[in-house]
Structure 1
Amino acid sequence: MVSVSNDGRGESQGLFETTDNVLLPVSVMRHAVAAGLEPDRLARESGLPSWTITGNEEYRVHSAQYLRTWEVVERGLDDANVAVRIAERYVVGQVGLYDYLFKTAPSLGAGLALCGPFVGAISTNFRFEPGPETEREVSFEVSMINGDGRGRDLAMQWALAAIFTRSRLVTEAPVNPVRVAFRQRAPRNHDGLVEVFGTNDIEFDAPVDRIAILKADLELPLSTADAQLAAILQRHAATQPVPPPRATTWLDHLAAVISSALDDDSATVDRVAARMFMSRRSLQRRLAENGTSWRTELDRVRRNRFEEAAAERPLTRLEQAGLLGYKDRRSARRAVQRWGN
């Protein structure tokens, strides 16, 4: 599997850098092209090679490029409901292996159960996990490792809506959620979301992105079930990339990114924000929401690195400076002295 950067060259994944199968941005761009937008311009403004519109499933793009595609298409079409419209036109197979894993399952519940373990077939940026359940219903939580802003909002609208538009194509009864929750702010008008989900129970500014489904609906058989093909596809899907290990909190995620940046001398707020697919302003806002600051978190990571390394053996001043990402030994010495007080 190859990932591509803005210039189309192969690029390896780093810590917490995530990629999406090229079929995801392609499904967005094809809708825009059908509506009259020019494909080369779409690809260029999204930071994608022009040939990605062909939708070769062997290629992956950085998650920031996929989210950027949503922003470019929404602006180009001047349509705040673009995610809903694309979800309504869902065709089983448009995201390749991930769709076929779902459609060959024996029931809706079995298909949804595959979405989490094999999400790597389509993205290392998304997680699909079981949430709270009651005697009557079960919920699933969809989360995104990297992403912020309008691109994230639209991608999540599409991801949650596509669960149901796809399900309705392969079940023998209509499938609607009991309720839907979005982390994003409420839009001025969300009639389009009500229509695509088939429920008025849509919450915004929620702590997580979540859908709830009746347990009875999980028993619905899929008209496309194929046990033999399912076994073959699942063996293949097991070879696909997997999402990075889950951090306990967002601050843990940030700490891991900062630590990695210290290793290659790029631990500045702008570069770390870019690694997390966020703007500097968004990163600082999230820090403030967590009651901390960039300087505080950078110092915390440096101190943890020093204490772990020093517990194994004494470090020279030069080694301290290198470990902590300082240009000179005096800065490292002052930091170590401060931590010791």
Structure 2
Amino acid sequence: MVVVSAEQELHVQVEATDNVRLPQSILRHAVSAGLEPRQLTRDSGVPTWSLSDGEEYRVPSAGYLRTWEVVEHGLGSPDAALEIAERYVLGQVGLYDYLFSTAPTLGAGLELCGTYLGAITTNFRMEPGLETEEEVTFEIGMINGEGRGRELAAQWGLAAIFTRSRLVMDGPVSPVRIAFHQRAPRNHDRLIELFGTDAIDFGAPADSITVSTADLARPLRTADPRLAEILQRYAATTQPVVPPRATTWTDHLGLVISAALEQDSVTVDQVAARLFLSRRSLQRRLAEHGTTWRTELERARRRRYEQAAVDGPLTRSEQAELLGYKDLRSARRAVERWQD
């Protein structure tokens, strides 16, 4: 267990990361559906090498959530997360799958999923909630992230629990209830079909699944006590540091603005397009968060400048290029404001 002091929480922020296998499985599905791989990785910000097999790399969680938005937009399907979950293959997220599949029962497997979730992500939590003699609820929480990427990641995460379970159990298994934090979609027939229940709630305080105690006690046909012991011992030595603080939608917006500055395309319309929003929708989201386009652009520019200035003074032309200004005087005035 990682304990973070109040002082550390105020002054240190560890970036949330995900195992590259998470965005990898989404991107591969999108490529097999006909989307262009280089465009996908460029738009999502996930490295191109993430499409190939390799070591257990980790990527920023912002890239994983962005990948969901990009893929949904490219496929043109609001059920993209469920379609990808239905094609789940045991082992696609590596160690995490085998920790689950070697457990003796479904309940033990889910408990291990919560304990060793860090094997695939530091951005999510899976913890037991309400428990009765008949059922147990598991709550899924996210540290960093908002918007559609969060919704799709939650859909896939909950759906994957059951598509994975059905691969290693004899007979059907379905949740007692499902709860989503997101607002109700216009149609959720696909959710009912995948989960095998129409007991699905929306607008809940947290994303969660409720499983009967009878199902939790059912054995997994892939149980392997010796291998389970080895894997758990190994997993305990590889748990990454948990981020002590959350970020917000405005932090995500800042990353998008910074990427736009990198490519010299930083107008409100261009950034809205990168977020797959209309200009009006972006301005509405800004208002909902008590900020403005000008404020967030200024904040992103200042952050880029302060990060670059650590390595030494910048010339006026370097400042202008870094901050996306055509006019050297505008860049100079901006820097002088921040230094006052």
Scaled by the length of structure 1, what TM-score is found?
A: 0.70
> Residues 93-152 of structure 1: CA distance to partner in whole angstroms, max 9, x if unpaired?
000000000000011011001011100100000101001011210010001100111111
Secondary structure (helix, strand or coil) at the match of 2:115 reads coil
- Report the Cα distance in structure 1 between the residues aligned to 2:170 and 2:252, rounded to whole angstroms: 48
Secondary structure (helix, strand or coil) at the match of 1:160 reads helix
Structure 1 stretches of 5 or more lacking a match? 1-13, 248-252, 258-268, 289-325, 329-341
Task: Indicate conservation of the 8 Å contact 1:15/1:244, yes or no.
Answer: no
> Residues 57-106 of structure 1: CA distance to partner in whole angstroms, max 9, x if unpaired?
42111001001111111111101100010111111100000000000001
- Per the alignment, residue 150 of structure 1 pairs with 148
Task: Indicate conservation of the 8 Å contact 1:170/1:222, yes or no.
Answer: yes
- Per the alignment, residue 250 of structure 1 pairs with none
- Per the alignment, residue 6 of structure 1 pairs with none
- Per the alignment, residue 30 of structure 1 pairs with 28
> Residues 153-177 of structure 1: CA distance to partner in whole angstroms, max 9, x if unpaired?
1010000010001001101121100
Secondary structure (helix, strand or coil) at the match of 1:116 reads helix
Q: What displacement does 1:56 show?
A: 2.5
- Report the Cα distance in structure 2 between the residues aligned to 1:231 and 1:287, rounded to whole angstroms: 50
- Per the alignment, residue 226 of structure 2 pairs with 228
Task: Indicate conservation of the 8 Å contact 2:129/2:138, yes or no.
Answer: yes
The correspondence for 2:84, drawn from 86, 98, 107, is: 86
Task: Indicate conservation of the 8 Å contact 1:21/1:57, yes or no.
Answer: no
Instruction: Write the mapping of 1:243-262 to structure 2, written as runs, cut at 5 A.
Output: 244=242, 253=246
- Report the Cα distance in structure 2 between the residues aligned to 1:88 and 1:36, rounded to whole angstroms: 18
Secondary structure (helix, strand or coil) at the match of 1:146 reads coil
- Per the alignment, residue 239 of structure 1 pairs with 237
- Report the Cα distance in structure 2 between the residues aligned to 1:283 and 1:99, rounded to whole angstroms: 39
1:112 is aligned to 2:110? yes
- Per the alignment, residue 335 of structure 1 pairs with none
Secondary structure (helix, strand or coil) at the match of 1:213 reads strand
- Report the Cα distance in structure 1 between the residues aligned to 2:68 and 2:157, rounded to whole angstroms: 12
Instruction: Write the mapping of 1:168-207 to structure 2, written as runs, cut at 5 A.
Output: 168-207=166-205
1:137 is aligned to 2:131? no
- Report the Cα distance in structure 2 between the residues aligned to 1:194 and 1:60, rounded to whole angstroms: 33
- Per the alignment, residue 162 of structure 2 pairs with 164
- Per the alignment, residue 51 of structure 2 pairs with 53
Structure 2 stretches of 5 or more lacking a match? 1-11, 258-274, 276-281, 292-337
Give the percent of matched residue pairs that are identical in Structure 1 and Structure 2.
Answer: 60
Q: What displacement does 1:244 show?
A: 2.5
1:17 is aligned to 2:22? no
Q: What displacement does 1:200 show?
A: 0.4
Secondary structure (helix, strand or coil) at the match of 2:18 reads strand
Scaled by the length of structure 2, what TM-score is found?
A: 0.70
Task: Indicate conservation of the 8 Å contact 1:107/1:219, yes or no.
Answer: yes
Task: Indicate conservation of the 8 Å contact 1:25/1:69, yes or no.
Answer: yes
- Report the Cα distance in structure 2 between the residues aligned to 1:124 and 1:280, rounded to whole angstroms: 31
- Report the Cα distance in structure 1 between the residues aligned to 2:71 and 2:250, rounded to whole angstroms: 26
- Report the Cα distance in structure 1 between the residues aligned to 2:290 and 2:145, rounded to whole angstroms: 15
The correspondence for 1:68, drawn from 51, 66, 69, is: 66
- Per the alignment, residue 320 of structure 2 pairs with none
- Report the Cα distance in structure 2 between the residues aligned to 1:59 and 1:198, rounded to whole angstroms: 34
- Report the Cα distance in structure 2 between the residues aligned to 1:236 and 1:284, rounded to whole angstroms: 47
Q: What displacement does 1:287 show?
A: 7.5
1:176 maps to a residue whose letter is S
